[in-house]
Amino acid sequence: MTNFDVVVIGAGLAGLTAAREVRAAGRSVVVLEARDRVAGRNFGGNLADGTPVEMGGQWIGRTQTEVLKLVDELGLKTFPTYADGAAVTLYNGVLTRYADPSFGLSDEGAMEVGRLQQELEALADTVSLSAPWASPSALELDRQTLGEWLRANSAKDEAMAFWGAIVPALFSAEPTEMSLLHFLFYIKSGGMLDNLVSTTGGAQELRVVGGAHRISERLAEELGETVRLNCPVRKISHDDSGVRVGFDGGEVTARRVVVAIPPALAGRLAYEPALPGARDGLTQQMPMGSVIKVQVAYPTPFWRDAGLSGFGFSLDDELSVTMDNSPPDGACGVVVGFFEGAHARSAAGLSPQERRASAVATLVKMFGPEARNPVDYAEQNWMEEEYTRGCYGGRLGAGVWTQYGAALAEPVGRVHWAGAETSDVWNGYMDGAVRSGHRAAAEVLGRLEA
């Protein structure tokens, strides 16, 4: 069968969710996936001893209601991220242990960070989630980078170091690399900063038993032969009568197409007729973040015995954020850590051995000498992934939202756009991906007769 009501490009959460709903509505659908696996930016791996670890997106927060609903519908279970005990922060060579939301900053530093956070969130309150470019102060907020705003609004080293590390932790990009408007949109989209950065009570509260990629795998199991792997799409032709989608080795036709891959990758397909300049221009300047995610394994989660949660935050090191990522039964100890933004790009120039040494050196500073001899190390450099080309997602630099934002999710004829980048709620997160799938499915189902 090569003729469908809907063809979906990309078997990540967005595409699979859209396909599921199209099929539930009694319409025929096919999902074309470039890789030999589903789940996109979710990706299950294993340590050498078989312990499953997540090499991509993994956490879910309680306000991420759409992905939680999906998890439940699919019969999957969640469990709380380990977060008992104290966190640690490294700054100027000093390790601070703390059990409050201070991020280990000095009183003065925490006060300055809090002041800036209040100001930023007051600005974020003015941003429209459905049309950021039409917010009352859009031009003013968009012409500045976040870095520019921070430099203009604080001269305190510790606070600036905090923002210089927390922003890459959220975006895998530097404050200079996004507009203030993008930052404000994004934090509002996820319910403001505390929600984004917190484990318990925030976006990192829950994990999925078996790994977050199981969500996509279950969806794909439901969809069966609807999902075709190893089909990198190269071309989309569309006209009044339908769409024709060419991939390596074949072609399908449909009434409508849902492109459920990041804008940076969507721009690389050939379109006939060519896309409007505004849409094409957007895809030229919505780069993906830069991140290398590492898993460092130990015989036991030894930090727990010392009353530590495993949450580490370094304002000094290339590996800037760590969390306890041990399996639910704590049978072994796993720390997950991130090289993000500029750190990821410099760490990409190291050998895996050097990156491991860099990561372990930071863990020793955070968790003591027991961290010195991991039993295993695994890493995932998302910048090298041909069919993702960076995580966590696409961002917009100064000026882009107001010049190109309207093209982000607006269909072009029979071509519809999905993916976490297109969601107004929890943009960039798994929940946003699911929401975008709902929205795209509703779009195509509402127009199939057209």
Site of interaction with its own copies (CB under 8 A) = 142-145, 147-148, 174, 176-177, 232, 234, 264, 267-268, 270, 274, 276-278, 280-281, 284-288, 290, 342, 345, 348, 381, 383-384, 386, 389-390, 397-400, 403-404
Give 281-347 as a DSSP string.
HHHHT-PBP-EEEEEEEESS-HHHHTTEEEEEEESSSSEEEEEE---TT-SSEEEEEEEETHHHHHH
Name which of 18 and 282 has its Cβ closer to its own copies: 282
Name which of 47 and 269 has its Cβ closer to its own copies: 269
Name which of 73 and 384 has its Cβ closer to its own copies: 384
Min dist. Cβ of residue 267 to its own copies (A): 7
Q: Write out the two tokens for 144.
A: 């500045």
Q: Residues 6 or more apart from 158 whose CB is under 8 A from it? A: 91, 105, 106, 108, 109, 112
Contact 401, 368 (CB under 8 A): no
State the sign of the Cα–Cα–Cα–Cα dihedral 261, 267, 271, 274: positive
Name which of 193 and 265 has its Cβ closer to its own copies: 265
Contact 219, 23 (CB under 8 A): no
Min dist. Cβ of residue 245 to its own copies (A): 15
Strands (E), 114-226: 206-208
Name which of 180 and 215 has its Cβ closer to its own copies: 180
Min dist. Cβ of residue 40 to its own copies (A): 16
Give 16-78 as a DSSP string.
HHHHHHHHHTT--EEEE-SSSSS-TT--EEE-TTS-EEESS---B-TT-HHHHHHHHHTT--E
Min dist. Cβ of residue 420 to its own copies (A): 16
How many angstroms separate the CA atoms of 445 and 400, rounded?
A: 31
- Is residue 338 annotated as involved in ligand binding? yes
- Is residue 34 annotated as involved in ligand binding? yes
Q: Write out the two tokens for 447.
A: 């127009």
- Is residue 421 annotated as involved in ligand binding? yes
Name which of 191 and 232 has its Cβ closer to its own copies: 232
Min dist. Cβ of residue 71 to its own copies (A): 31
Min dist. Cβ of residue 132 to its own copies (A): 16
Q: Binding site: what residues are annotated?
A: 33-34, 233, 338, 421
Q: Binding site for FAD: what residues are annotated?
A: 33-34, 233, 421
Q: Binding site for substrate: what residues are annotated?
A: 338
